[in-house]
């Protein structure tokens, strides 16, 4: 435990971490990117997840929805994750044992693992789903897991300053 | 004006939030952030389609129909939660430049979304107007978000 704290303190105390934390413009800007980038990452992923669950764009094959939004979702997650890492570097020791932050980090792993499973195991077979409205149970489950884990990630992220 | 903000803040609704557990404030924050995501997602979907960069195999009308409930849910959630924040902290926040900029951008963004963007969806226009409208809507709505984020830092 203490070694985790030491690493976190070293990160936060590094010249890079301190520079971000102390900048009155860069820090709020990174927070802004972290929040607003969610419109691309989680927001567009929400559309794909809701399609997997058969709740939106039912007239369009799920694979078609996913293929058209995939690169935007990846770009959005790149923005969100990079800005999140920068915020963590600036506040590592303050948040590393914060329960909200621990839940945030844990559910990011769940969300990413689910996305990796979907991309490698399910998406390659998406052509077989064709025009069908109701997708195989595995695809619907992946949509539900994605939706719920990212909702927890967003809520726990916002709660970090409240559970400090 | 400042007497009005004092009145708002001391009203029953104002006291309800500021006088209660800070987790009530956190819950209102979560409603606000959920609304921001829904609202910006709707804006992004329509703008990307107008620009020909996302869901281009779907018609404009189809994308607008998809985005509409997200836009409304997002607007309702952000405006209600934002108003609750404002009422509970009116005297501190009303004079803040970032909040004033945010509100001006919000009015412009709403006017553009329900004036120009909706029209572009239903009545095809020149490429220049379509592209300009889509970019303006992205700039204005993300500007509202950035100005909003700046409130807490000023």
CA dist B123 and A104 (Å) reads: 44
Confidence (pLDDT) at A1: 63
B29/A158 CB distance under 8 A: yes
Q: What is the pLDDT of residues A15-27, one digit of tens each?
A: 889 989 888 889 9
CA dist A8 and A96 (Å) reads: 7
Q: What is the pLDDT of residues A60-115, one digit of tens each?
A: 999 899 999 999 999 999 999 999 999 999 999 999 999 999 999 999 999 999 99
The residue ranges of chain B whose pLDDT is under 50 are none
Give the closest-approach CA distance of A117 to chain B in angstroms: 24
Confidence (pLDDT) at B146: 93
Q: What is the ipTM of this complex?
A: 0.91
Q: What is the mean pLDDT of chain A?
A: 92
B36/A28 CB distance under 8 A: no
Confidence (pLDDT) at A99: 95
The answer to whether A72 touches A107, Cβ cutoff 8 Å, is no
Query: Residue ranges of the domains in chain B?
Result: 2-151
Q: What is the pLDDT of residues B101-121, one digit of tens each?
A: 999 999 999 999 999 888 888
The answer to whether B36 touches B78, Cβ cutoff 8 Å, is yes
Polymer length in residues for chain A: 164
Chain B residue with minimum CA distance to A163:
B23
Helices and strands: H and E segment counts in chain A: 8, 0
CA dist A93 and A85 (Å) reads: 13
- Reply yes or no on whether the pLDDT at A131 is more than 80: no
Inter-chain CB pairs, A–B, below 8 Å: 83
- Phi and psi dihedrals of B11, rounded to 5? -65, 170
pTM metric for this prediction: 0.92
Grouping H, G, I as helix, E, B as strand and the rest as coil, residue B5 is helix
């Amino acid at each position: 435990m203490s070694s985790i704290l030491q690493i976190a303190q070293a990160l936060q105390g590094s010249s890079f971490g301190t520079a971000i934390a102390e900048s009155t413009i860069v820090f709020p800007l990174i927070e802004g990117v972290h929040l607003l980038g969610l419109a691309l990452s989680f927001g567009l992923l929400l559309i794909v997840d809701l399609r997997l669950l058969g709740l939106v764009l039912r007239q369009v094959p799920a694979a078609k929805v996913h293929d058209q939004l995939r690169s935007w979702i990846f770009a959005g997650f790149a923005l969100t994750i990079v800005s999140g890492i920068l915020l963590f570097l600036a506040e590592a020791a303050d948040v590393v044992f914060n329960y909200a932050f621990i839940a945030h980090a844990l559910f990011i792993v769940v969300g990413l693992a689910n996305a990796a499973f979907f991309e490698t195991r399910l998406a390659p077979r998406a052509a077989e789903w064709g025009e069908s409205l109701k997708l195989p149970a595995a695809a619907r489950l992946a949509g539900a897991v994605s939706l719920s884990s990212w909702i927890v990630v967003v809520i726990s992220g916002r709660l970090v300053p409240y559970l400090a | 004006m400042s007497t009005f903000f004092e009145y708002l803040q001391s009203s029953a609704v104002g006291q309800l939030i500021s006088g209660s557990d800070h987790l009530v404030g956190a819950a209102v924050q979560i409603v606000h952030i959920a609304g921001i995501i829904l609202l910006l997602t709707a804006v992004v979907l329509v703008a990307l389609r107008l620009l020909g960069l996302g869901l281009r195999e779907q018609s404009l009308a189809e994308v607008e129909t998809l985005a509409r409930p997200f836009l409304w849910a997002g607007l309702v959630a952000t405006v209600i939660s934002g108003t609750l924040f404002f009422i509970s902290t009116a005297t501190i926040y009303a004079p803040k430049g970032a909040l004033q900029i945010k509100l001006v951008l919000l009015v412009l963004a709403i006017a553009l979304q329900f004036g120009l963007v909706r029209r572009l969806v239903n009545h095809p226009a020149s490429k220049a107007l379509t592209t300009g409208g889509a970019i303006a809507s992205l700039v204005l709505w993300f500007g509202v978000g950035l100005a909003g984020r700046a409130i807490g830092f000023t």
